[in-house]
Amino acid sequence: MTHPSTLKKIILTLLSYLSIGLLITGCGTQKLQTEKVASGIDIESLMSQAHELENLGSFNQALINWNTALTLTSEQNNSSLAPKVASRMESLLKNNGDKVTDPSIRMQSIVLLARLSYEFTEPATALEQLSLIKTSDIEKVSADLLAEWLFQKSRGLLMLNKFAAATDLLESYEHLTPQSQKTSDLVWAALSRLNETQLDFVASTSDTYDSRGWLELARRLRSENYSLRRQLDAVARWRRTWAQHPAASILPSEIARLELAWDNRPKFVGVILPLKTPVGNAIKQGFLSAYYDELRISRDVPKIKFYNIETSSEISSIYREAVEQGVDLVIGPLDKAQVIDLYRLKNLPIPTLALNYVSEKEFIAEGGSSAMTSRAKFYQFGLSPEDEVKEIVSLASKAGHQTAAIITPNGPDYKRLEELFEKSWLDLGGQVAAKISYQQETDYSSLVKDFLKIQESESRARALIQTIPRNNVFQIPRGRKDIDFIFLISNPAQARQIKPTLAFYYAQNIPVYSLPSVYNGYDNPEANLDLNGIIFVDAPWMIHSQLRNRKTLDQSLPEDQGILQRLRALGADAFSLYPQLELLDPKSLNVIKGATGGLTIDRSNQIHRTLTPAVFKKGLAAILLEN
């Protein structure tokens, strides 16, 4: 673990180095060399030509063709051919890289491969590819190309929170790299990887004008992250206060894009929900809480119209009605079948934010004729339990656990989550020692006793007593020693029985991790004492009761529990996202801090959440502090 004082030094060194020379107008994004493509030529033709050139020993030209093919897969969003092209390029570089006589072509290929890996959120793979560079190439390529390689490598290190390595890398090549827009972007990338505690710590002791300015900019934007309009106002105030700061002249690209997104924001939003149900009404409440909160600071809010939809309704007719009435963004529907029906519509005329997810398996099961493909204007967002499972896997891995045990309710949905957890854990190199499922029980003693193999311990003790008879020998059963932690899916009532039963059978020291379902959102210390020690993840809306939108809503409406509170958060985020959809980029380090979690997007336009880790202490849900 990085010592706090060391972390401060690393970050301040990083900021100090990167700030030098930012007032010089830079080169922007490095354009990599690719073959000029003849009109009508396709990716597979380029691949075929590249193969032929390799066979002829023309490795320079072959690699240029591969570069062009990989660039086209990105431009055409061809996710099926991209891995094939990348694999062939990597093979050429590893096996015949020495035969590529132009170091610039070699480095361009490496950078392209890394960019693709980042799109698939694989920073470790990107760093492996970037290490294919030859030491002798570094002083032979242009300064701009070296800066691009340096940016991509630093980006990967920062994504893996390796601040010290990023700093060392930058200092190593300081004398060779130009200052540019990319340098500004790298500063912002570094700051984006800091959590709130780290940012506050570094800011409290920064001692240079440049570093204080950077940290202040980051803190101001984070405090207004839920609202695009408020972020723009915060940037304007910062630039007036820090007029001499390098970033006042060269803003990071992530920040500069905010203004463009605001100018292009939708002016008329249609919301399609089952308004006669508690679920639809909760989402509407959250949506309007964010709307009225925005209205307090600006009259620049969109026109809103709600459309009621029943489960049996035809989504296409309601969607068409909204478009004909001038809506330029649709939010909804919520029902999975209706989301699938909407997805099937070709060439959606306006951006659409569906409030549920559809997997390729579900799409085909519902009558989809072929595999799903990305839709440019179709976004998916919801309360995905898959995101929650992956968060628990990440938490347990960071805690150093190795061997898991799983306790879940019976049922196909729970089985799917159990399988996802097990696969994710095994993929990280972990092990699963035991699995058990339960019905709605009134007594979990026998279930937990079997799970922890207490009967085996009792049998061993009885056998020992029979072997060595003693009147004064008594038995203390031992729990399992092959489990590092338990993954539990349950509601609060079930967990209040299972957790004490685990302790009763000698498993009180085994950490228990759970999903948001273990918490109903109520502060009830007396009822929740039996949940003490359970670690879980949940939406910030549930853990941070002082969130602006929730505080406003709680003052005007009765408090709802569990899923309805989370659906209010979903509605609040749906409004916050309306002007920010185009800011979501799978290649970006930027995270929108929403009421449901930190929001990012993948290549399929599915929006995912990073949730808040929490733990029950004295019967209350408290934020799990990071080391």
The answer to whether the 27-178 and 264-383+544-589 domains have the same CATH topology is: no
By mean pLDDT, which of 203-217, 425-439, 486-500 is the weakest?
A: 203-217
Give pLDDT, residue 26. 32
By mean pLDDT, which of 13-22, 236-245, 279-288 is the weakest?
A: 13-22
Report the SS3 class of residue 249: helix
Q: Which residues on adjacent β-strands are paired with residue 485?
A: 404
Contact between residue 580 and residue 229 where contact means Cβ atoms under 8 Å apart:
no
Q: pLDDT tens digits for 353-387? A: 999 998 766 655 555 555 455 567 899 999 999 99
By mean pLDDT, which of 65-79, 397-411, 611-625 is the weakest?
A: 65-79
Residue 151 pLDDT > 80, yes or no? no
Structural element, H or E, at residue 272: strand 268-273
Give pLDDT, residue 30. 43
Mean pLDDT of 464-469: 57
Give pLDDT, residue 22. 38
Q: Are strands 303-308 and 431-438 parallel, antiparallel or unpaired?
A: unpaired
Give pLDDT, residue 490. 94
Give pLDDT, residue 627. 43
Q: What are the Cα distances from residue 61, in Å, to 46, 112, 125, 134, 310? A: 11, 16, 25, 19, 59
Question: For residues 493 and 531, what is the distance between their CA atoms, to the nearest angstrom?
Answer: 10
Q: What are the Cα distances from residue 251, in Å, to 144, 186, 188, 542? A: 19, 11, 9, 34
DSSP string, 440-465: S-S--HHHHHHHTTHHHHHHHHHHHH
Contact between residue 461 and residue 477 where contact means Cβ atoms under 8 Å apart:
yes
Residue 5 pLDDT > 50, yes or no? no
By mean pLDDT, which of 70-84, 406-420, 499-513 is the weakest?
A: 70-84
What are the tokens at 280?
């639809």
Most confident of 9-13, 132-136, 566-570: 566-570
Give pLDDT, residue 159. 78
Give pLDDT, residue 303. 96
Residue 209 pLDDT > 70, yes or no? yes
Give pLDDT, residue 582. 85
Q: Are strands 329-331 and 268-273 parallel, antiparallel or unpaired?
A: parallel
By mean pLDDT, which of 3-7, 123-127, 510-514, 585-589 is the weakest?
A: 3-7
What are the tokens at 33?
């060399």
Give pLDDT, residue 183. 67
Q: What is the pTM of this model?
A: 0.74
Q: pLDDT tens digits for 100-128? A: 888 888 888 888 899 888 888 788 999 99
Residue 308 pLDDT > 80, yes or no? yes
Give pLDDT, residue 475. 55
Mean pLDDT of 157-170: 74
Give pLDDT, residue 23. 32
Hey, what amino acid is at 439?
Q
Domain ranges of the chain: 27-178, 264-383+544-589, 386-538
- Burial level of 509, CB count in 10 A (0-12/13-18/19+)? exposed
More reliable by pLDDT, 441 or 524: 524
Hey, what amino acid is at 90?
E
R_g (Cα) of the chain, nearest Å: 27
At 17, the pLDDT band (50, 70, 90 cuts) reads: very low
Question: What is the 8-class DSSP label of residue 612?
Answer: E
What number of other Cβ atoms are within 10 A of residue 75's Cβ? 9
Give pLDDT, residue 121. 78
The percent of residues above 90 in pLDDT, for the chain, comes to 36
Contact between residue 539 and residue 556 where contact means Cβ atoms under 8 Å apart:
no
Residues 6+ away with beta carbon under 8 Å from 168: none
What are the tokens at 65?
């063709």
Give pLDDT, residue 423. 94
Question: For residues 240 and 14, what is the distance between their CA atoms, to the nearest angstrom?
Answer: 25
DSSP string, 540-591: HHHH-TT-HHHHHHHHHSPPPPHHHHHHHHHHHHHHHHTTTGGG--TT----
Question: For residues 500 and 275, what is the distance between their CA atoms, to the nearest angstrom?
Answer: 41
| Residue whose tokens read 């008594």 | 474
Report the SS3 class of residue 18: helix
What are the tokens at 68?
């062009």
Residue 332 pLDDT > 90, yes or no? yes
Residue 60 pLDDT > 90, yes or no? no
Fold of 27-178: 1.25.40
Give pLDDT, residue 180. 62
Most confident of 18-22, 37-41, 146-150, 551-555: 146-150
What are the tokens at 479?
């729990």
Give pLDDT, residue 462. 54
At 21, the pLDDT band (50, 70, 90 cuts) reads: very low
More reliable by pLDDT, 110 or 550: 110
Nearest CA to 25 out of 191, 183, 236 is that of: 183
By mean pLDDT, which of 215-224, 349-358, 456-465 is the weakest?
A: 456-465
Give pLDDT, residue 1. 39
What number of other Cβ atoms are within 10 A of residue 603's Cβ? 15
Residue 466 pLDDT > 70, yes or no? no
By mean pLDDT, which of 203-207, 486-490, 496-500, 544-548 is the weakest?
A: 544-548
Question: What is the 8-class DSSP label of residue 33?
Answer: P
Residue 437 pLDDT > 80, yes or no? yes
Mean pLDDT of 199-207: 70
Mean pLDDT of 465-494: 74
What number of other Cβ atoms are within 10 A of residue 520's Cβ? 19
Give pLDDT, residue 469. 59
Half-sphere exposure of 320 (CA within 13 A, CB side): 7
What are the tokens at 132?
């294919």
Buried (b) or exposed (e) across 29-65, using 16+ Cβ within 10 A? ebebebbebeeeeebeebbebbeebbeeeebebbbbb
Fold of 386-538: Rossmann fold (3.40.50)
Question: For residues 608 and 606, what is the distance between their CA atoms, to the nearest angstrom?
Answer: 6
Contact between residue 401 and residue 511 where contact means Cβ atoms under 8 Å apart:
yes
Report the SS3 class of residue 380: strand
Give pLDDT, residue 454. 61
The percent of residues above 70 in pLDDT, for the chain, comes to 78
Residues 6+ away with beta carbon under 8 Å from 414: 408, 437, 489
Residue 456 pLDDT > 60, yes or no? no
Question: For residues 53 and 16, what is the distance between their CA atoms, to the nearest angstrom?
Answer: 47
The pLDDT mean for the chain works out to 81
Question: For residues 97 and 83, what is the distance between their CA atoms, to the nearest angstrom?
Answer: 19
By mean pLDDT, which of 88-92, 144-148, 204-208, 320-324 is the weakest?
A: 204-208
**Which segments of 103-159 does DSSP mark as H helices, in order?**
103-119, 123-130, 143-159
| CATH of region 264-383+544-589, choose from 3.40.50.2300, 3.30.565.10, 3.40.50.300, 3.30.450.40 | 3.40.50.2300
Half-sphere exposure of 171 (CA within 13 A, CB side): 13
Question: For residues 93 and 103, what is the distance between their CA atoms, to the nearest angstrom?
Answer: 11
Give pLDDT, residue 465. 55
Rounded to 5 degrees, φ, ψ at 545 are -65, -15
